[in-house]
Amino acid sequence: MAMFATPGAYDRAITVFSPDGRLFQVEYALETVRRGSTVLGITCPEGVVLAAEERTTSRLQDPNFSWKIFEIDDHVGAAISGLSADARILVDQARIYAQSNKLTYDEPIDIEVLANRVGDVEQQYTQYGGVRPFGVSIIFGGVDDTGCKVIQTDPSGAVWAYKAVSVGAGSEAIRGILEQKYRPDLTLENAILLAVECLSKAVEGKLEPEKIKITTIPTTTRKITQLSNREIAKYVHRLDANARSESSEKALP
């Protein structure tokens, strides 16, 4: 047992469990996700909404280059939180899986199958020496023959399905809003409005359309669509109007 005498020895190799059953390198990767940009996914009978906080490190940065939401196929998108470089590799792999499925079976890939395959890749990087876990969590959202799906993967390779979920720095606050205000019968419009309300709690400073990105996958078209800044601004104004209305009602005797 001499090799484990040092308290920090367990985090020097991805393949070594601590005595209490923990893989510290995986937990460090999860911490990277917790400090990443806030992203969320919401399902409703009319489709799926993916939304993300877009951080810029400089006013000279091109806002059209840094993305937290990616198109995987026509019917599925992915929102990422954590290391963007790691996410790029997994997103590219997900796109290959989607196109391979279409070429082989002549049909779009199921969201659950796609998420599980990416989760398998992430899990492989938790059990071999000389590698490290992917420092990213991905929310896959889309519409397939089984319905509207939002499925999250994390650095451990775990895969979970949700009605609504958020990861990243502001996820704790957003989780409370989702648990309070999410309803299974939301319209797509109200799901978008809920996403904007959630991100308003995560974005630093005043909420502006340029600080967030939103995409939708409606059940009618099964085509991923990105909302423009002008469209997002309409929802921001609606949120402000609703907040003023609620404040006025509370002020009434």
Per-residue model confidence as pLDDT tens digits over 35-56: 999 999 999 999 999 999 987 7
Q: Across the beta sheet with 159-162, what order do the strands follow? A: 69-73, 76-82, 136-144, 147-153, 159-162
The mean pLDDT of the chain is 89
* Cα dihedral 142, 144, 148, 150 sign: negative
Would you say residue 203 has pLDDT above 90? no
> How many CB atoms are located within 10 Å of the residue 151 CB?
24
Would you say residue 248 has pLDDT above 70? no
Q: Mean pLDDT throughout 173-197?
A: 96
In degrees and rounded to multiples of 5, residue 55 shows phi and psi of -90, 140
Per-residue model confidence as pLDDT tens digits over 100-138: 999 999 999 999 999 999 999 999 999 887 889 999 999
Which pLDDT score is estimated for 115? Answer: 98
Which pLDDT score is estimated for 251? Answer: 55
Confidence of residue 67 (pLDDT cuts 50, 70, 90): confident
Would you say residue 245 has pLDDT above 90? no
Which pLDDT score is estimated for 2? Answer: 40
Query: What are the helix and strand counts (H, E) for the chain?
Result: 6, 10
Would you say residue 168 has pLDDT above 80? yes
Which pLDDT score is estimated for 244? Answer: 72
Which of 49, 46, 80 shows the shortest CA–CA distance to 66? 80
Integer Cα distance of 40 and 53 in angstroms: 9
Q: For residue 220, what are its two tokens?
A: 């009618």
Least confident of 67-71, 114-118, 149-153, 244-248: 244-248
Q: Are 23 and 14 in contact (CB under 8 A)?
A: yes
Q: Mean pLDDT throughout 181-206?
A: 93
The residue assigned the tokens 């484990």 is: 4
